[in-house]
Amino acid sequence: MVVDYASRTKKSKALYERAERVLPGGVSYGIRFFEPYPFYTARARGSKLYDVDGNEYADFWLGHTALILGHSPPAVVKAVNAQLENGTQYGTSHEREIELVEKVAKMVPSAEMTRFTNSGTEANMYATRLARTCTGRTKIAKFEGGWHGGYDALQVGVKYPFDIPESAGLTAGAVQDTILLPFNDLEGVREKLRDQQVASIVVEPVLGSGGGVPAEKEFLKGLRDLCDEKDILLIFDEVITGFRLAPGGGQQYYDVKPDISVLGKILGGGFPIGAFCGSKEIMEHLDTLAYKRPHYSFHGGTFTANPITMAAGLVTLKLLEDGQLINRLNKTGEKIREQLKDMFEAHGIDAQITGAGSIFNTHFTTQEVKNAPAAYKADRKRLVEYNLALIANGVFLLPTHNGVISTAHSRNDIEKLFAETEKYARRAKSA
């Protein structure tokens, strides 16, 4: 497998050796590295990535799941080209930012008011601060396996085993107010929070880096009730699920309304973005006219509401708004999960396929995967081997991460995923 890949990716290898000298680990984000070295992308279009050696990949990673319309969709290219001629960064207020937040308000049930950031990390950071502002409480809660970006207070208990710090440099002070909760286990959550006063509980409707594990509907409903009982603000981190599971994201898909929502990825139409939103009553704490220091909750940033991002986001949401494209993707997602399960089963390989809507992941285990510990206890070595076998044959899933599909994916792309999985399963069985 590695030999196949190496013989096809000689120019990527040379670029990796060059990168290693100046980029720590040879990459701009640790998760983008995979063995023996990542390929280097030369261009991308529709459902495909093309590397510097001329190899084509059906792309199921899609820019960290951001590209629901595929690479360079014509409508986005047109809108961005038009905007390029009219300024790339204003640093002033402009109408597009209003249009986009109006669209978000129309689509996302909890989003009466919204503020933009440049990443999901920032949006989670500001959402947490806002929750602390509104409640006057210090402690916050998050779930095992939940990934909310690199903000210190939320970078706790992400990878198994959960008691090892996620990074050097996280001070005791930065993480001591974070309570770690068990996912899909309402009784466990109640127990952990019995004597605690927390400002917020943040949850991904489908665990992203935690293995593509969907929350159970009753679990999210139970969390909503618990938050109401204890005056806790419920935050949905919809950086992945927003505009993917439904036009209104996970909250529409599950019919559970959070107090604050965190958005990103798809919202930017392929450009950097994050956002957080909520009711007027909550979001008004960001209004520096209504609240003076020390009572307002700060938020800002040089590139917030960047006009290129706004233009790309706006055309993207317009295309997703009526739900037709998303419904179609969700049906294909369902088919992918079923067919992958059947294929591994047919070859006697124990595999659980997780995901929801147009998200999918594979876990080689006999155990049902209902939380991140179960995902981490599956055979990850085999998962990497499976993913690398796909990559060597022109199907890109970033090893161990979730796969997603876009409206640019054709039946052939999906068939290729199946055909290469079938080949892998056949070989794995006989090995």
Task: Assess contact for 408 and 71: CB atoms under 8 A.
Answer: yes
Interface residue with ligand PLP, options 103, 142, 148, 244 (CB under 6 A): 148
CA angle 421, 205, 384 (to 5 degrees): 30
Smallest separation (angstroms) from ligand PLP to the CB of 203? 10
With CB under 6 A as the rule, give the number of residues binding ligand PLP.
Answer: 15
What residues form DSSP beta bridges with 214? 206
Nearest CA among 131, 149, 133 for reference residue 141 = 131
Please report whether residue 149 would count as binding ligand PLP according to CB under 6 A: yes
263 by Cβ neighbours in 10 Å (0-12 / 13-18 / 19+) ranks as: buried
Q: Which residue is nearest to ligand PLP (CB)?
A: 120
Interface residue with ligand PLP, options 37, 143, 147, 344 (CB under 6 A): 147
Stretch of residues binding ligand PLP (CB under 6 A), selected from 142-150, 220-228, 344-352, 421-429: 142-150
Interface residue with ligand PLP, options 274, 313, 333, 399 (CB under 6 A): 274
Comparison of 55 and 119: residue with beta carbon closer to ligand PLP: 119
Q: How is residue 309 written in tokens?
A: 């991002």
Please report whether residue 121 would count as binding ligand PLP according to CB under 6 A: yes
Comparison of 141 and 414: residue with beta carbon closer to ligand PLP: 141
Please report whether residue 264 would count as binding ligand PLP according to CB under 6 A: yes
Comparison of 18 and 32: residue with beta carbon closer to ligand PLP: 32
Smallest separation (angstroms) from ligand PLP to the CB of 12? 24
Q: For residue 119, what is the DSSP state?
A: S
Please report whether residue 151 would count as binding ligand PLP according to CB under 6 A: no
Task: Assess contact for 250 and 275: CB atoms under 8 A.
Answer: no
Please report whether residue 26 would count as binding ligand PLP according to CB under 6 A: no
Q: How far apart are CA 109 and CA 363, in angstroms?
A: 33
Stretch of residues binding ligand PLP (CB under 6 A), selected from 115-123, 128-136, 161-169, 355-363: 115-123
Q: How far apart are CA 63 and CA 193, in angstroms?
A: 36
Interface residue with ligand PLP, options 5, 12, 34, 64 (CB under 6 A): 64
Smallest separation (angstroms) from ligand PLP to the CB of 128? 12
Count of Cβ atoms closer than 10 Å to residue 74 Cβ: 11
Task: Assess contact for 287 and 296: CB atoms under 8 A.
Answer: yes
Stretch of residues binding ligand PLP (CB under 6 A), selected from 42-50, 113-121, 128-136, 361-369: 113-121
Smallest separation (angstroms) from ligand PLP to the CB of 117? 9
Any alpha helices (H) in 284-355, and if so which ranges?
A: 307-320, 324-346
CB-based contacts of 168, cutoff 8 Å, min separation 6: none
Per-residue binder mask for ligand PLP (CB under 6 A), 207-246, x = binder? -x----------------------------x-xx------
Got the DSSP string for 35-86? Answer: SS----EEEEEBTEEEETTS-EEEESSHHHHT-TT-BS-HHHHHHHHHHHTT
Which residues contribute to the site for ligand PLP (CB under 6 A)?
64, 119-121, 124, 147-149, 204, 208, 237, 239-240, 264, 274
